[in-house]
Amino acid sequence: MSRAPRKRLEELRKLIRRADHDYYILDRPTLSDAEYDLLFDELRRIEGDHTDWITLDSPSQRVGYPIAATFQPVRHAVPLLSLAKCTTREEFDGFEARSRRYLKDFEDQFEYSCEPKFDGLAVELTYEDRVLTVASTRGDGTTGENITANMRTIRSVPLTLADGAPGIMDVRGEVVLGKRAFEDLNRAREEEGAELFANPRNAAAGAVRQLDPKMTAARPLQFFAYGTGRREGVDAVDQAAILAHLRAWGFLIHPAVTSCLGADEVEAFYRHILSEREASDWEMDGVVLKINDIALQQRLGALSRTPRWAIAWKFPPQEAHTQIEDIQVQVGRTGVLTPVAHLRPVRVGGVEVRRATLHNALELQRKDLRIGDTVVIRRAGDVIPEVVRVLPDQRTGGERTFSMPDRCPVCDTPVVRGDDAVAIRCPNLTCPAQVRERLFHFAGRGAMDIEGLGNQLIDQLVTRGLVHDPADLFSLKQDDLLPLDLMAQKRADNLLAALAEAKRRPLARVIAALGIPSVGEHTASVLARQFRTIDALMDADLEQLASAPDVGPIIARSIRTFFDAAATQDMIRRMKSAGVAFPPESGRSGEQPLAGTTFVLTGTLQGVTRQEAKQRIEALGGRVAGSVSLKTNYVVAGDDSGSKVDRARELDITILTQREWEELLDDSL
């Protein structure tokens, strides 16, 4: 170490205190989890070598963060300890070896309670006479903040407990916000010009720590229980029994929680949850492993900061540092100009990342991003990564500012700026970039689903002037296709057959494929049921459109503007001439028997595809969601159903077999 250890020690303490303040008090993290862990590990190494330098105010001697002055303090009856961590199998084996040294007479394999580790806000709920009396944050582990009024607004928090629950009990758990809800929240904030949240954890923490409980209630938060503090009068032999009690008393327990025997099974659980990480709607940053036996936990005891009987096996970080090499503007199918950062390639969560969205001009300005900046990027799921924040301390002076263009970078048309200064659009509907994006959307799944019509082929069709809008696709001939790159006779025949098949797509699919701004799959299904023919939809006035379920005046205006355009009317006319059927929607218009009912499909249904099942439900006014929530009415369980059925049982949601589901649909006709 080039710097004196004592000087480096004070520097580390200062950096960690500042990071704690930014993360816990301001809800604006300045370090990634991986960066924070590196600093903390270095601090503990120095203090381990120089134990006489440890002070009571060192970050190593505390669990969390100081309480905010805006909330009343709550002292925890039993301290909420943090967890030791590991990142490799070798480190986990070291945890086991240390545990065995304290339990010299224990020779069997350890049984573990294995649980996903949520990236949320740790909370304690205190119940007296089975009634929720106090809710508090972790705070510094001894004293937290009183957030009772806010926690009462979360529907997965029981206000009273079921019979059999103890008279006094402290329930520990995590408050989380789903990824999809987080994206919806940030999208709404972006439209309002408000500052975007960095991640779901910060959105959840910001909601829970609002002075006005109505702000908390406006966000779809969930509370997952994972343990207890006091539990008077309840004897539990292991952690699994505690979780079973909590589930019986009305708490939400993640369905992936299980017991594992020995390190090999633990590692298999870790790898399974890691493989599910991106698909899950919940942000998870590792797994928590607890020695299951309560008697062994008591013998092992705890250090000042962490229990000896539990550890968090952390996932690889999904944030990383890299440099913005350039900023270019991308034109979408509706003409919106979006700045995109071209990055020095970096691996994030096992994937090489070269680009990241910068959202819009306002966000670019707010973050003060410049070409050449070193930035923190985050990747979640298959969505294009985003730049979380810039690291101004690493600027060299050679960085260049970037301004959004006054003309479209593709067709050179002057751009149009919205009143909110957020949306900048190219108004030229024939702009090649917009044409390409509209065709990508038109041919995609959930729309016309034209097999063989990929992005590279669309690029060629547009570049060579063969296709200018979706209607042109249905006039393509073999002679048009064969001269294209990598286009052989069989591929051309297959594409023409796919285009012929697409002409018979249901009306709802065609409406969704047209790319009407603000009209997705669900709204397209609503419009098809309400108006039944494409002509009736095109002729509907604003009042008729706005009266359709889930439409309203804003979407109605978007639909009317789209169909009023001469280019749209010409495109629909040419699609009809080319043989696109626009088949009338069968069934009744207006209010439907399953209106307001939400279904979730899981497993394999016999004799019907997932898309066909969805269409049957939507034809009767129902909705199909991708995940089980408190808003779900029915879960339809086919063969080999997965965790969604377990989730439905936890939330007491009706589970239907395929036969019961079909009978329900028949009875609704």
Q: How far is CA 587 from the centre of its chain?
A: 35
DSSP string computed for 455-490: HHHHHHHHHTTS-SSHHHHTT--HHHHTTSTT--HH
Tokens of 65: 């963060």
**DSSP code for 407:** B
Q: How far is CA 602 from the centre of its chain?
A: 20
Torsion of CA 30, 34, 36, 38, to 10 degrees: -140
DSSP string computed for 480-537: HHTTSTT--HHHHHHHHHHHHHHTT--HHHHHHHTT-TT--HHHHHHHHHHH-SHHHH
How far, CA to CA in Å, does 353 sit from each of 318, 387, 430? 11, 11, 31
Given the residues 85, 117, 290, 614, select the one marked as catalytic: 117
Q: Which residues contact residue 610 at a Cβ distance below 8 angstroms, ignoring those fewer than 6 apart?
A: 601
Residue 31 exposed, middle or buried by CB count within 10 Å (0-12, 13-18, 19+): buried
Contact 513, 441 (CB under 8 A): yes
Tokens of 11: 């520097």
Q: What angle do CA 447, 453, 458 make, to 5 degrees?
A: 105
HEC assignment per residue over 559-596 = HHHHHHCHHHHHHHHHHHHCCCCCCCCCCCCCCCCCCC
Torsion of CA 180, 183, 184, 186, to 10 degrees: 160
Catalytic annotation on 477? no
How far, CA to CA in Å, does 317 sit from each of 44, 280, 558, 559, 664? 21, 16, 41, 43, 46
Contact 287, 112 (CB under 8 A): no
The number of beta carbons lying within 10 Å of the beta carbon of residue 18 is 12
Label the pairing between strands 319-331 and 337-348.
Answer: antiparallel
Tokens of 393: 């301390």
Contact 514, 591 (CB under 8 A): no
Tokens of 421: 């200064």
Closest Cα partner for 264 from 110, 100, 97?
110
List the catalytic residues.
117
